[in-house]
Chains A and B, each alone.
Chain A
Amino acid sequence: MNVLSLVFFGFSALAALLGALGVVLAHNPIRSAMGLLLAIAGVTAMFIGLDAHFLAAIELIVYAGAVVILFVFVIMLIGPDATPPHDSKVLFTRTMAAVVFGVFALVTGFFMLRAGGGLHQLPPFRPDFGTIDSFGRELFTRGLVPFELTTALFVVAVVGALAVARGRHRSDSPAEVAKEQAP
């Protein structure tokens, strides 16, 4: 059991990290999207390892089913322009930002290792943890208000996405319409 869960964790972590590397390193955005898919699969597997079964399902449906498909749609819509020619000019400020971030991450990791305290084992499995029943009960009692407010967020997001992606045409504004019809 222990070895099996360790192997499961190893594969899922490997998938997540390889997918993340694929997103960053791939030149073609389609391959980046496939890397994102692999990373999401790894994260979903780790959610299952953490007994968050409902969240694992949601993650797979929302990310693999909706977000990645949306990315692929947009990449296909843009076509070959989605892969701009790779110019060798790397902006110095951007490189410095990445280096500084990496250095701070390493320093943080070093201090976390030095703090010690040993490894913390997960508490024993509880059958009422992470299932749709128990999670849904809590979501619809204590989390009801933010859950309902999410719908408002989605309405705003949909209207905003439509307004931005449609763009502004000349004939949209009443003044332009009047000007076009005048002569």
Chain B
Amino acid sequence: MIPVEYYLVVAGVMFGIGAIGFLLRRNLLVQLMCVELLLNSVNLTLVAFNRMRPDDHNGQMFAFFVIAVAAAEAAVGLAIGLAIYRLTRSVRSDEADLLKN
């Protein structure tokens, strides 16, 4: 079998890629996709740790709710992105400065 650390390393690297992408990219849509990457890597750790202790399904249940929240977050985030696009004719996140000053 495969040691649990392998899964944790993959999840950690994926989280790092997603977080750095979220910080560096300025396209609102790509940033939302990076958030999905982060949530996916967290789900992976939850499921991997749950596999280490197969008496119950606590980790999988938590991952299930994370997936549900991620779906809602994608819907609301894309709606906000569309609203910002209609307002500024751009999807660049650093042009959304309505609350500035």
A residues near B (Cβ < 8 Å) are: 2, 5-6, 9, 13, 16-17, 20-21, 23-24, 26, 29, 32-33, 35-36, 39-40, 43, 46-47, 49-52, 54-55, 58-59, 62-63, 66-67, 70-71, 74-75, 77-78, 81-84, 90-91, 94-95, 97-98, 101-102, 105, 109, 119-123, 126, 129-130, 134-135, 138-139, 142-143, 146-147, 150, 153-154, 157-158, 160-162, 164-165, 167
- Are B71 and A67 in touch, CB under 8 angstroms? yes
| Chain A residues closer than 8 Å to B17, beta-carbon distance | 17, 20-21, 23-24
Which secondary structure characterizes the binding site on chain B? Answer: helix
Chain B proximity of A70: nearest CB distance (Å): 6
Chain B proximity of A8: nearest CB distance (Å): 9
| Chain A residues closer than 8 Å to B51, beta-carbon distance | 50-52, 122-123, 129
| Chain A residues closer than 8 Å to B29, beta-carbon distance | 29, 32, 71, 74-75, 78, 82
- Are A23 and B34 in touch, CB under 8 angstroms? yes
- Are A50 and B47 in touch, CB under 8 angstroms? yes
Contact with A along B11-34 (1 / 0, CB 8 A): 011101111110111110110111
